[in-house]
């Protein structure tokens, strides 16, 4: 869509007030100047810009600002008094719309618009119009740069680098360039140019090493609700013991999710639900999913979404999901989803609306956002969420088998620079019957403290002593875990 043409149509519709909510002020002014020049041979309108700091200034010809009209009341009275048509751009006028005098002056200008075409354009990050002015208003949304425009913006920055560094040209890796263009989607013109400039001017090149910093900076620009966190530290499946079937499932879908040509005939995967016992690696698997897909990991915190004011919770969720859409391709991790989408006592109505918002997004999203939701208690999850088709698959993460317990123990010992040859890995794994992955790690951590206190190297005896003192969750909550396993049998796919 041609934003220039759309804005010109709105201006030609003879609407007295045009509202443009945008952070890209310079880009909007550039569009307005272009439209003004193109209309010079037809219905020409002189173009003015007003700010509270400089006053009124004519832009279509080079004139100095008029500080005497810097006060909001003064500039509106001036516009009302002039007898010639004009296009008046008022920047950041939104705080002054609460004054009834300003509202009346604007209404006067609108009422007299048929006799004298004095058109007002309000540009700000957010504009709330009083009810009595709504009938005189039209809104225009600035389109974000498309692929071709982002290519031109990046090329302009490359040329700027060459001009600033005579005799030196920016080195451009074609694949990294294409990925940069893709990752800059969803940003304004100004932000696109700024992030491209940061990437190129850092080392005089566009390389794959620039992409993580670009995605981090993009996230910081987009995340205003605070409910979505950018996870800087992801895991690899080398850090995860077991889950062999899940690893294979994700590996098979990697090409389709990333949009590789070899998988162009395949539908991209939507997401998975990881159901299972606490401490068995569901959260770690979510982090590793981002690593295997090679994309950023975002975490959605439902605790930061819920708000006491009516409608605010749903708005925050929509903003968070929009952030994920713009950050795509990415993995969106929702930990313990049952706490966010199950009934929350007196907030049942809110929870139902949140559930509806989330399910609608899941069904309609076109972006490459792979959802990894984890849950410990299936009984509190709404049936609408777990029915077939919401997620591509529901995996059950059970307590680890002896072989998997051995691999988990070896991972945690190796991560702490312990020589595996000193330990009876098989014997310890058998002794950890009923232990989760988290409990195995905690046994190693506690044994290291005991070894430090005894001033001896960590050995099998230290870990065995910790095992004997631990009552695993599978014993403490044996009834609940048995019920969860019974529900999962036949309804889910085993992760191993």
Confidence of residue 444 (pLDDT cuts 50, 70, 90): very high
Q: Is residue 39 part of a domain?
A: yes
Is residue 283 located within the same domain as residue 389?
yes
- What pLDDT is recorded for position 38? 73
Of the residues 172, 189, 222, which one is the last residue of a structural domain?
222
Q: Tens digits of per-residue pLDDT, 206-224?
A: 888 888 888 888 777 776 6
Bridge partner list, 396: 275, 494
- What pLDDT is recorded for position 218? 79
- What pLDDT is recorded for position 465? 92
Is residue 326 located within the same domain as residue 419?
no
CA 472 to CA 436: how far, in whole Å? 8
Among residues 305, 294, 494, 289, the alpha carbon closest in space to that of 371 is found at 289
Read off the pTM. Answer: 0.69
Q: Is residue 264 part of a domain?
A: yes
Q: Is residue 482 part of a domain?
A: no
Of the residues 140, 174, 206, which one is the last residue of a structural domain?
140
Q: Which domain holds residue 358?
A: 231-237+247-397
Is residue 95 located within the same domain as residue 159?
no
Is residue 369 located within the same domain as residue 292?
yes
Q: Got the DSSP string for 474-492?
A: HHHTHHHHHHHHHHHTTTS
Of the residues 120, 140, 160, which one is the last residue of a structural domain?
140
Is residue 392 located within the same domain as residue 415?
no
Is residue 267 located within the same domain as residue 317?
yes
Is residue 39 located within the same domain as residue 117?
yes
Q: Are 218 and 187 in contact (CB under 8 A)?
A: yes
Q: Tens digits of per-residue pLDDT, 314-323?
A: 888 888 888 8
Task: Round the CA-based radius of gyration of the chain to a whole number and report it.
Answer: 30
Q: Is residue 487 part of a domain?
A: no
Is residue 251 located within the same domain as residue 392?
yes
Q: Is residue 494 part of a domain?
A: no
Helix, strand or coil for residue 130?
coil
Name the region of 92 (left: φ>0; alpha: ψ -120 to 50; beta: rest). left
CA 79 to CA 452: how far, in whole Å? 80
Q: Tens digits of per-residue pLDDT, 40-92?
A: 555 678 999 999 999 999 988 877 887 788 899 999 999 999 989 999 999 99
CA 65 to CA 387: how far, in whole Å? 64
């Amino acid at each position: 869509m041609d934003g220039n043409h759309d804005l010109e149509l709105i201006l030609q519709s003879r609407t007295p007030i045009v509202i443009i909510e945008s952070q890209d002020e310079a880009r909007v002014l550039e569009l307005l100047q272009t439209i003004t020049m193109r209309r010079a041979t037809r219905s020409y309108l002189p173009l003015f810009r007003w700010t509270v700091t400089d006053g009124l200034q004519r832009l279509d010809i080079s004139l100095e600002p008029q500080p005497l009209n810097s006060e909001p009341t003064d500039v509106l009275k001036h516009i009302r008094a002039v007898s010639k048509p004009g296009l008046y751009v008022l920047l950041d006028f939104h705080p002054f719309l609460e004054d009834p005098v300003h509202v009346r002056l604007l209404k006067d200008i609108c009422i007299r618009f048929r006799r004298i075409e004095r058109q007002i354009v309000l540009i700000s990050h957010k504009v709330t119009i009083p009810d009595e002015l709504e009938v005189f208003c039209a809104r225009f949304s600035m389109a974000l740069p498309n692929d071709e425009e982002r290519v031109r913006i990046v090329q302009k920055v490359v040329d700027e680098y060459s001009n600033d560094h005579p005799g030196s040209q920016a080195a451009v890796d074609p694949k990294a360039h294409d990925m940069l263009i893709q990752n800059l989607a969803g940003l304004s013109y100004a932000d696109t140019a700024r992030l491209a400039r940061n990437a190129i001017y850092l080392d005089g090149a566009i390389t794959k090493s620039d992409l993580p910093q670009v995605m981090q900076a993009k996230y910081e620009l987009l995340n205003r609700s605070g409910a979505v966190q950018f996870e800087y530290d992801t895991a690899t499946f080398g850090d995860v013991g077991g889950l062999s079937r899940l690893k294979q499932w994700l590996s098979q879908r990697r090409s389709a999710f990333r949009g590789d040509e070899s998988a162009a005939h395949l539908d991209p995967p939507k997401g998975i639900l990881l159901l299972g016992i606490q401490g068995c690696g569901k959260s770690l698997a979510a982090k590793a999913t981002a690593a295997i897909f090679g994309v950023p990991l975002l975490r959605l915190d439902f605790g930061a979404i819920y708000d006491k004011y009516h409608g605010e919770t749903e708005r925050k969720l929509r903003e968070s999901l929009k952030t994920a859409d713009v950050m795509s391709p990415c993995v969106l991790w929702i930990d313990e989803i049952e706490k966010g989408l199950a009934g929350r006592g007196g907030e049942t109505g809110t929870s139902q609306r949140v559930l509806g918002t989330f399910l609608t997004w899941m069904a309609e999203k076109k972006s490459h956002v792979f959802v990894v939701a984890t849950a410990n208690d299936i009984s509190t999850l709404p049936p609408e969420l777990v029915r077939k088709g919401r997620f591509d698959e529901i995996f059950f993460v059970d307590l680890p088998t002896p072989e998997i317990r051995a691999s988990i123990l070896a991972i945690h010992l190796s991560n702490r620079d312990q020589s595996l040859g000193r330990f009876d890995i098989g014997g310890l794994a058998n002794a950890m019957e009923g232990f989760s992955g988290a409990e195995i790690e905690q046994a190693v951590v506690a044994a290291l403290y005991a070894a430090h206190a005894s001033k001896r190297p960590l050995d099998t005896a230290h870990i065995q002593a910790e095992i004997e003192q631990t009552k695993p969750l599978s014993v403490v909550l044996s009834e609940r875990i048995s019920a969860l396993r019974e529900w999962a049998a036949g309804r889910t796919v085993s992760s191993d």
